[in-house]
Amino acid sequence: MLKTRLLALVGSALACVVGVVHAQDTLALTVKSDQSGPMISRQIFGQFAEHLGRGIYEGVWVGPNSSLPNTRGIRNDVVAALKELRVPNVRWPGGCFADEYHWRSGIGPAAERPATLNPNWGGVIEPNTFGTHEFMDFVQQIGAEAYISVNVGSGTSKEAADWFEYLTADQPTTLAKERAANGHAEPFGISYLGIGNESWGCGGSMTPDYYVSQLRIYARYVRNYNSRHPMKKIAVGPEGGDTSYTEAGMKAWKERNWSWDIDGLSLHYYTVGGWPPSYKATGFGEDEYARLLKETLRMDELIRTHAAIMDKYDPEKKIALVVDEWGAWLAPTPGSKEGFLEQQNSQRDALIAALNINTFARHADRVRMANIAQMVNVLQAMLLTDQEKLVKTPTYHVFRMYVPFQDATFVPIQLDPQTYVHGEVEIQRVDAIAARDKDGKVWIAIANVDPRRAVRIRIASGDRKNETLSGETLVAPQIDSINTFEAPNTVAPKPVTAKRTGGAMTLELAPASVTVVSF
């Protein structure tokens, strides 16, 4: 009798961990493979690297004399890990740092560069040893494109114009000769110009109309002289649900004359849960988990709100909505330096990443670029480093699993997502997208947000030739499970397969999991 009770208790405990699939937990997902939507731009998987905390220094840059393996001062392990993600673009040097950055401090012999202050992020010394040439070397090493934000807050249009002449001029101007003397004779290729950053806040607290007056000037005079490498210009747009910058920027674009133009409008929105950030990155329960996922799903509402304004002025959708700051902003890691914005990264962060990416994909006609904040050691990072150690976070694994969606064609699906309810939180239980890559393979990404119940998905594709699904699933022992330097694979993708039975393929998804499969 005692043995029977013990076995029952063990079985109950296991059910809580892996979930039990009941009949009512079977959902039907139909992939409408005979239909297609817009291309999911690979640029929505962009990264953000600001001079903030240990994001650049220690995270990317260790210097050429470091004992850590590096190539011209850039960490080899970080480069190798990021190359696996096929990072499309990197936004730099900020962030709030961009509007206090003066590019001349970051060129020339490293020993002669001035040491300045970084008042936004901890008041620490900025050595300027990672500057223009180092950044361009970094993006070339990882195979990404450069997205450079110029200083509109404390800089001038001439300073920004000079920087882009220095970067891109192919004729022997004085600035081009200076670039060559600093080690790069050929002009750089800059894909994206950000005209300021958060001009409504740390970028100058500008009114929308005042920012538009500056936008016209910078968009006119900050030129790309490298005709072999086209460049797009991105204006500062809204913070969260405030539509004033969206309205002003799009109205100005609609009324523009031949002398200036833009290609995108930025949107910044973080999953925070209130200000200042206080939600714990580890050791949290289902309340915090549910509330932050609900806040993440607000991204869809925000995109719809701003896209509606953009449609009014731009029905042809020429201007992209660029979500160039997004991600979880949580309470800092205890013991970390003030202003360094270091936080751990859990299975909850993996779901936050997946839900955001799925949202961007569903709005691929307007959202054609995005940048998660941030790349290494800051906020919802891909990677964490400590001296010679490196660990890949759950968010990293989501980005790696989603690589096949880069430049794939959106494919509609039909799904009754059911509902996950916890306390006052009520959100969709399953979130999914599908896409067809250039080789014709169909990919499906599915997030089961329910942390207590597994779910069975019956997938119908309308194509009897598809007999097998295969891919990976990202699961964890707990919703707050993390990867550490001591245990780097606590949260890691595992293979998953499913075969056709009864006219459909059946896939079982663990609680709080992210799964990507193809057929």
Q: Retrieve residue 163's tokens.
A: 């920087």
Q: Which of 198, 239, 288, 295 is catalytic?
A: 198
d(CA 61, CA 75): 6
Cα–Cα distances in angstroms (integers) from residue 70 to residues 60, 120, 126, 259, 350, in the given order? 10, 29, 21, 44, 29
* Residue 480 DSSP label: T
Determine contact, residues 514/398, Cβ cutoff 8 Å: yes
Cα–Cα distances in angstroms (integers) from residue 340 to residues 327, 331, 388, 426, in the given order? 16, 11, 20, 34
- For CA atoms 52, 53, 58, 63, the dihedral sign is positive
d(CA 96, CA 101): 9
pLDDT for res 10: 34
Determine contact, residues 434/411, Cβ cutoff 8 Å: yes
Q: Residues 343-363, buried b or exposed e (16+ Cβ, 10 A)?
A: bbbbbbbbbbbbbbbbbbbbb
Q: Which of 145, 325, 342, 508 is catalytic?
A: 325
User: Is 198 assigned a catalytic role?
Assistant: yes
For the chain, the structural domain boundaries read 19-37+411-518, 41-406
2.30.40.10, 3.30.300.30, 3.20.20.80, 1.20.81.30: CATH of 41-406: 3.20.20.80
| Max CA pair span of the chain | 90
First to last CA, the chain: 48
Length of the chain: 519
pLDDT for res 80: 98
Q: What is the CATH number of domain 19-37+411-518?
A: 2.60.40.1180
d(CA 418, CA 403): 27
Alpha-helical runs (H) found in 34-131: 76-84
Q: Is the backbone of residue 227 left (phi > 0), alpha (psi -120 to 50) or beta?
A: alpha
Kind plus residue range of the DSSP H or E element containing 517? strand 513-518
d(CA 201, CA 172): 39
d(CA 462, CA 33): 7
Distance from CA of residue 190 to its chain's centroid? 20
Determine contact, residues 264/323, Cβ cutoff 8 Å: no
User: Is 388 assigned a catalytic role?
Assistant: no
pLDDT for res 377: 98
Q: Retrieve residue 402's tokens.
A: 């989603």
Q: Residues 309-330, buried b or exposed e (16+ Cβ, 10 A)?
A: bbeebbeeeebbbbbbbbbbbb
- Which segments of 186-330 are extended strands (E)? 192-195, 232-235, 264-271, 320-328
pLDDT digits (tens), the chain, 519 positions: 333 333 333 333 333 344 455 545 899 999 998 899 999 999 999 999 999 999 999 999 999 999 999 999 999 999 999 999 999 999 999 999 999 999 999 999 999 999 999 999 999 999 999 999 999 999 999 999 999 999 999 999 999 999 999 999 999 999 999 999 999 999 999 999 999 999 999 999 999 999 999 999 999 999 999 999 999 999 999 999 999 999 999 999 999 999 999 999 999 999 999 999 999 999 999 999 999 999 999 999 999 999 999 999 999 999 999 999 999 999 999 999 999 999 999 999 999 999 999 999 999 999 999 999 999 999 999 999 999 999 999 999 999 999 999 999 999 999 999 999 999 999 999 999 999 999 999 999 999 999 999 999 999 876 556 678 899 999 999 999 999 999 999 999 999 998 777 778 899 999 999 999 998
d(CA 150, CA 164): 9
Alpha-helical runs (H) found in 297-328: 298-313
Helix axis angle, 208-221 to 244-254, nearest 10°: 40
Helix axis angle, 208-221 to 157-168, nearest 10°: 30
Q: H helices then E strands: how many in the chain?
A: 11, 27
Beta pairing class for 413-415 and 442-448: unpaired
Determine contact, residues 204/197, Cβ cutoff 8 Å: no
Determine contact, residues 34/412, Cβ cutoff 8 Å: no
d(CA 164, CA 183): 16
d(CA 3, CA 406): 53
For residue 499, the tally of other CB atoms under 10 A from its CB is 10
DSSP letter for each residue of 275-295: SS----SSS--HHHHHHHHHH
Residues 6 or more apart from 208 whose CB is under 8 A from it? 200, 244, 245, 247, 248, 249
